[in-house]
Chain A
Amino acid sequence: METVTLTIDGRNVVAERGITVLEAALENGIYIPHLCYHPDFESHSACRLCLVDTGDGELLPSCRLTVAPGMVVTTNSQMIERARRSILEMMVADHHTTCRGCPSSGQCELQRIMGRLRIDRKRLERLRWPTEDLPRDTSNPFFDFDPNRCVLCGICVKTCEEIQGADAIYYTARGNMTRIAPFGNKPFAQSRCESCGECVVRCPVGALVTKNVQRPKQEVKSVCPYCGVGCGIYLGIREGVIVDVRGDTASPVNGGHLCVRGRYGWRFVHSPERLTTPLVKKSGELVPASWDEALSLVAERLAGYRGDRFAMVTSIKLTNEEAYLAQKFARTVMDSNNIDSDARLSDAPTLAALQRTVGMGATSPLSELAQAATILAIGTNATETHPVVGARLRQAARRGASLIVANPREIDLCRHARMWLRPHLGTDVALIMGICRVILEEGLVDASLVDEKAAGLTAWRESLRDFSLGRVERITGVPQEEIAEAARLLASGPTAIVYGAGITQHTHGTDNVLALINLALLLNTGNDSLRLYPLQAHNNALGVCDMGCLPDYLPGYAAVADASVRERLAAVWKADLPASPGRTLTEMWSALASGTVKALYLVGADPLSTMPGHEAVRQALASAAFVVVQDMFLTETARHADVVLPAASFAEQEGTFTNMERRLQRVRRAISPVGDSRPGWQIITELAGRMGSKGFAFGSAAEIMAEVAALVPPYEKASPEESTLCSFPAADRRFAPLAYEPVEKIADIDYPLLLVTESCLYHHGNWSARVAGLKVLADEPFLQVNPKDAADYGVTNGQMVQVASKQGEMVTKAIVSDVTPPGVVTLKGGAQDLQALQAGLTAVRIVPQTE
């Protein structure tokens, strides 16, 4: 570090070259009043309070003054104080008259500076405009904005622009009428505001404040339980209740940045809908029961369905410890490999594709995403589904990285993108293969180096022959020039590829992922990681799969079919393992309906809400002889259960989660379990004990992790305390030849449109619906219809329309917008109604409703 020595107020100060005088002073304990300076941003000297004297007769804002050798700075003198005082007086004269009742009182920078400068409020009255107080904006359910307390420091504007990238607010009007406001001076809740609360965190005064703020008495380090990013958080606790959450600034994942779900979504923990006692079905009704009664009933009934007659589904929100015990229970106690998780619906294509080409261990650290010069975001609306990663993409575009968005729909990222490719629905393989072909044909990468680093180049290259640019354009609808330009940008890397459910939740999901892996192999010859970022929708999708909640893999992806693997595990578990792979999640329902599988144990899974083909699942549940549900809430599915076991939340137990980079992170018990609920691992331990198994004598989550570490070496090396990455050994890289398979022609004359669903920032699984504020912010469901289709089917903007598929129908509001491409209607929100309509990719017709 190069340093500079200067004098501040007669003191010799050593400062890093390039920092400002204000920063140098603050680092050395010399206080200079300031309001608009924030270490996260470049100074914009809006408040002019940090004026200092460098001896040449003019006062300069120290936040813009770079330290220089031998500089002599005075931070306080009569002249400075006079200038500061008049600036401050004008500011206060425009401010709310009193600190009484202000939630920021005691933490307010303005208050602090007024105290230091001993400002007399009475004297200020002469400067006041005789105006009424402006109305407070209380539209957002999580925070309030009081323009009367705003000092226009601009920190919130910069936060929204540079940190979140939502660009929701800016300065409006002029002169003494200047206000911070969203577009059209609308309330926050009706603006582009993403409610991340980052501006609330940074507001130096009482203008932006959390609603009903309560200061925590103690903080417990934890991990956000929503999406696969796995942001580090601190739970703020007061009298046994969570009252606040803040981002962990030391977290290698998010560096303190949170989205609305992470910062405010924890409230489901204290939802009145939490299950507080076990429930047992008696004459058709679920009635409260004791743990003893419930567990003995489960133990007794399950004992009769060992082997293939038993099936288990786990959620991908469980801790690693819960997931590990769940599959161990299925395999050793129930003697069944019929164990699967919700990952089957979303993340299985990624796992299958990795397995075939580069190995399960191929994950990439998020830190490399930040360094990428080009980023392809394909099949993901990351700003809604994975907001912190979405914000990283916007930040990258801001600092000059080339963002390429490939999406049939116009999402917010398009606004930040250098290129927006708009392929037809389901044509991603062709698009990517076309791009790869350009890269090879134009010699944008060193083919001999590629050949050296990965096997199968020749065969794959052969499969590229079918993808002439002309054909790719015909299939995808993306002009040839755009494909070629994208290819050139991608090859100019380092390039990261981010993809989401648009790629995986698809009939050709595995092919889509394979195409992206091929592209990544082409672009990352000199790099250990492939810079490939699958965005898992849920926080522990990777962990639950690593733990072996898969019908064909044991913990650590050891194949069930492999006898030597089974033997090794049997020795550790001291039990025989079933030899044949079990049924997948999608296969279980027909097996239940036909009576082959009779008992079902759902650990946090709610298939009635998550599975397409609602009716089949309902029938399967009805035909099951015995259904146990272990959950925090009485979910749709739990209502069909024979026994419901109340599980504790992430904040009530010890455990670990594995995020999208395969970073092992620890959650801690911050509060005691709500009601009579118990941590999932304890429930399974107890149940296994009652069923006579000896392999479940665990006294703590850490003991379970110790057993995991012994079986899955990457987990042995990783430390959840330091949230380090688990690294599976790298496998040999291999290309996968691909052909383009058109999506089944499902649209026909009766159902001419394709229905896609769009994720919503405020809607996430079963939990967000139990957070009142998130429900308020989530839009009423609506259907986006392209203007062309609207004209064809006589739909006007705002009109109610009936949407009908072969499976069912619903009525919703139509919004005419070219955000959705012609031939495709997009349903936003309203996941519940959707279940009735959908079975995979769905063709629909729309009929305007007349009043």
Chain B
Amino acid sequence: MHAVVDYLPSILSGALLTLELALLSLFMALVLGLTGAAAKLSKIAPARWTATLYTTVMRGVPDLVMMLLVFYGGQILVNEVGDRLGWDYVEIDPFVAGFVTIGVIFGAYFTETFRGAFQSVPAGQLEAGAAYGLSRWQVFARILFPQMLRFALPGVGNNWLVLLKSTAIVSMIGLSDMTWLADQAGRSTREPFLFYMVVCVLYLLMTAVSGVVLDWLTRRYNVGVRASVL
């Protein structure tokens, strides 16, 4: 058991890295998701086509394949461009490759979530806003967006939990997240089962905390909405 105590600080630092990676990816995915939803609902046909292509490809290709492509392919791409511009050799950081890939992939899932949520806001709300003489921007910022969040929240919560777990694959491109560190600790102590269990417990802890936060957000965004009782 003492082995766990020795390696715990290292694995906890890996957990912190996992969390940073997940939060950065989440931020990127939220921005891409809102942009994608705007494109899917836009009147401009090429914008809709681009967004559809984006969501179809991202949801049909495994995250690991995409990550290997970004990590190894990006390396070559950056250096080919760099050669022409006279840069020195640039090394792609697995952390950057990891959060860009996860952010771009989950951006596609968030696009669908936000698109559905925008469409769930009753049209009468928007008409009422226009009737009050609000500008289009005011209708968006005061009426559409805040109400959309309530509809989007369950989907956002689900996507977040999936995103959090898919961060484990960054260990396969050599980023020292908690899965990778546990792997190393398991090899050197010959107690891999123990250390993988520690990682499982840490992931479960993160999911549990996320659940509490999501419940709180759901309550907050549903203030003033009567729940339907069957």
Query: A and B: real partners?
Result: no
